Amino acid sequence: MARPKQETPTAGELEVLKVLWEHGPCTVREVLNDLNKRRPRAYTSVMTLLNVMTEKRLVTRQPQGRAYVYQTRRPRETTLGRMVQDLLGRAFEGSASALVTQVLTQSKPSDEELEAIQQAIDQYHEREES
């Protein structure tokens, strides 16, 4: 039996999405060149991954000469938000405090990061009160 298609991006798909979010629309070759800065990959592997991502509606493609230009369908914040929502529901039974506790335990944030987190909490309270 075939595995059901995962709605959230896989680790490899997320790597490609990060390239597209950073650089904007790219060809397979441009994505490959950026990914190869971290570790080598084959052109055909990246092309296949982008074709799968097109089928999953994570990216769109437009012909440009003999190549396709790929771009993300959704902004980074929307995609990451969906991933967090999925994780929150599946792993933490909807408990934001359990998720945040786990993130703090695993990431060991610096004082600056903790201050930024506190500011985000304060801003959240301000939005909810208005």
pLDDT in tens, 68-113: 999 999 999 999 999 999 999 999 999 999 999 999 999 999 999 9
Q: Three-class SS string for the chain?
A: CCCCCCCCCCHHHHHHHHHHHHHCCECHHHHHHHHCCCCCCCHHHHHHHHHHHHHCCCEEEEEECCEEEEEECCCHHHHHHHHHHHHHHHHHCCCHHHHHHHHHHHHCCCHHHHHHHHHHHHHHHHHHHC
Checking if the pLDDT of 22 tops 90, the result is yes
| Domain chopping of the chain, boundaries | 11-72, 76-129
- Tell me the whole-structure pTM to 2 decimals: 0.83
CATH 1.10.8.60 fits 11-72, yes or no: no
Checking if the pLDDT of 5 tops 70, the result is no
